[in-house]
Structures are given as C-alpha cells and as structure tokens.
C-alpha cells in the first residue's frame, strides 16, 4: 500500500484519461484505496485536460488539493506549468518535452513560455523537474499516441515509486487496459522508458 497523489495535465486527445486509468489501476493492484477524477466534455475539443489520481489507505475526495500533490505528469509543457501549483515541496514533475501552442500563440497574440519559465514554475514549488523525451521516443517507436505510456514508464522508475511498485504490476494493468492490437507497442514503450529512467 502506498499513499500518493498524482496530477496528469495536458491537452484533449493526448491520452490522459487512459493514462489516469492505468495509474489508478496500478494503485488498486498495489493494495491502495484509489480514486480518480477528470472532466469530460468541452475539454475534448482541444482544451485543457487534467486528471487527478489518488492512492491511499482510505481516499475520501476524488480531487487532489493544490500544494499537496507528490507527482505531476505533464503531457505538454505549457499545461505542466499551469498545473504546477498542485505540487508540494519535495514533489516531482515528469514533463514531456513537447509543445502544443494554444490558439492565442498560433495567432501571434501571445507567447509560449520558454522551457526555463516552465522549469521555474515547477521549481518555485520546491519540486524537482525531469524533462522526458516522450514525444520523440514515441515517434521513434512509430506512434505518437504511446507518449503517455512512455511518461508513465519514466514515472514508474522515479524515486520512491520505483521501489514501491514492481514493474510487472504496471505492465499487468497496462495490458489489461490498452486495446489488444496496441499491447506490444505500449509494453515496449513502457519498459524502454522505465529502463531509461533507472539507467
């Protein structure tokens, strides 16, 4: 049993809901009580998507609280910065090195934050940041859609999580949740990422 709060943040269509389901499933498998929450609807038209996943002895609220979350999984740099206020001191952000400019930026009316601004947003919370080449590696594997699972693989090897939950627990849950046709690719992305993180 492990206690931990996670926030997954990114853009509609990036596979955040599936990644959240995997994370929730792993918590349950590892013996924790689990809750998970996200918003559906308008958010899926290119808007912001955040998913809250909580593991604990007894989880009450399905929503985590700003300033109290241990792990931020950023699917996209800007959205990782936006969600940074959730992190607690000593927390960890694993962030996909990937930018999806929002409409105001593509129209030339606003500026996308630089990497060091994203880093500052996270570090000012007293949390650590790890940039993850998830998009790049997913493309190399032949399908950008596995970037989310790559991020989870990376996360699974990080810090206390790496010791608390066995790799096979993750792989088990993952295989149960992704469609059979994509199982091999997802497993590969996961294992590669975990190996890259723990190397």
Partner 1 sequence: MSDASKVLLSGNEAVALGAFEAGVRVAAAYPGTPSTEILENLAAYPGVDCEWSSNEKVALDVAIGAAYAGRRALAVMKHVGLNVAADSLFYAAYTGLGGGGLVVAVADDPGMHSSQNEQDTRQYARFARVPLLEPADSAEARGYVEEAFRLGERFDTPVLLRLTTRIAHSRGPVRVEDPSPLGGRGRPAVRDPRPVPDPHHRSAREALAALANDPGKYVMIPGNARGRHPVVENRLARIAEWAETCSLNRVESGGGSLGVVSAGVAYQYAREVLDDASFLKLGVVWPLATGLLRAFAAGVDRLLVVEELDPFLEEALSLMGLKVEGKRYFPLAGELDPATVRRGAAQAGLLTSEGEPEAVPGLPPRPPVLCPGCGHRPVFYALRRLGAVVFGDIGCYTLGALPPLSALHTCGCMGAGLGNLQGALKALAGEEEGEMEGTRGRPVAVIGDSTFFHAGLPALANLAYNQGGGLVVILDNRTTAMTGHQDHPGTGRTLAGEPGPALDAASVARSLGVEQVTTLDPYDLEGFVAVARGYMTSGRPAVIVARHRCVLQARERRPAVTAVAEACNGCGVCLRLGCPPLVREGSVVRVEAALCTGCGVCAAVCPRSALLAEGAIPS
Span of 19-27, 130-138, 152-160, 186-194 interacting with partner 1 by CB under 8 A: 19-27
Query: Binding residue for partner 1 (CB under 8 A) from 60, 116, 168, 181?
Result: 60
Gap between the Cα atoms of 175 and 72, Å rounded: 23
Instruction: Considering only the stretches 42-50, 91-99, 129-137, 187-195, report the one whose residues sit in contact with partner 1 under the rule CB under 8 A.
Output: 42-50
Q: How far is the CB of 196 from partner 1 (least distance, A)?
A: 25
Among 3, 33, 115, 130, binds partner 1 (CB under 8 A): 33
Alpha-carbon torsion, ordered 29, 134, 175, 156, to 10 deg: -20
Interface with partner 1 in residues 152-191 (CB under 8 A): 176-177
User: Is 114 an interacting residue with respect to partner 1 (CB under 8 A)?
Assistant: no
Q: Does the footprint of partner 1 cover residue 31 (CB under 8 A)?
A: yes
Using only C-alpha atoms, what is the Rg of the chain? 16
- 28/195 with CB nearer partner 1: 28
Contact between 45 and partner 1 by CB under 8 A: the answer reads: yes
Judged by CB under 8 A, which of 4, 8, 19, 30 binds partner 1?
A: 30
Closest C-alpha among 55, 52, 58 to residue 72: 52
Based on the shown chain and the rule CB under 8 A, indicate whether residue 90 belongs to the binding site for partner 1: no
The 10 Å CB-count burial string (b at 16+, else e) for 30-56 is bebebbbebeeeebeeeebbbbbbbbb
User: Nearest 5°: phi and psi at 129?
Assistant: -125, 130
For residue 114, give the nearest of 133, 124, 136, 99 by alpha carbon: 99
Nearest distance in Å: CB 195, partner 1: 25
Tell me if 21 contacts partner 1 by CB under 8 A.
yes
Tell me the closest approach of the beta carbon of residue 88 to partner 1, in angstroms.
9
Binding site for partner 1 (CB under 8 A): 1, 11-12, 21, 24-25, 28-31, 33-48, 59-67, 78-79, 81-82, 84-87, 101-108, 110-113, 121, 125, 176-177
């Amino acid at each position: 049993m492990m206690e931990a709060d996670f926030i997954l943040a990114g853009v509609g269509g990036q596979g955040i809901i599936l990644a959240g389901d995997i994370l929730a499933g792993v918590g349950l498998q590892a013996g924790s009580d689990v809750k998970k929450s996200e918003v559906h609807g308008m958010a899926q038209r290119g808007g912001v998507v955040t998913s809250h996943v909580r593991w604990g002895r007894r989880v009450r609220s399905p929503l985590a609280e700003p300033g109290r979350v241990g792990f931020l999984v950023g699917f996209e740099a800007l959205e990782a910065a936006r969600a940074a206020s959730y992190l607690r001191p000593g927390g960890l952000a694993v962030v996909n090195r990937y930018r999806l400019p929002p409409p105001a930026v593509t129209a030339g009316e606003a500026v996308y934050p630089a990497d060091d601004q994203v880093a500052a947003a996270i570090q000012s919370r007293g949390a650590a940041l790890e940039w993850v080449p998830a998009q790049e590696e997913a493309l190399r594997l032949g399908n950008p859609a596995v970037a989310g699972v790559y991020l989870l693989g990376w996360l699974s090897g990080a810090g206390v999580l790496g010791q608390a939950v066995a790799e096979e627990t993750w792989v088990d849950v993952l295989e149960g949740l992704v469609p059979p046709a994509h199982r091999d690719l997802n497993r590969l992305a996961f294992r590669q990422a975990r190996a890259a993180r723990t190397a």
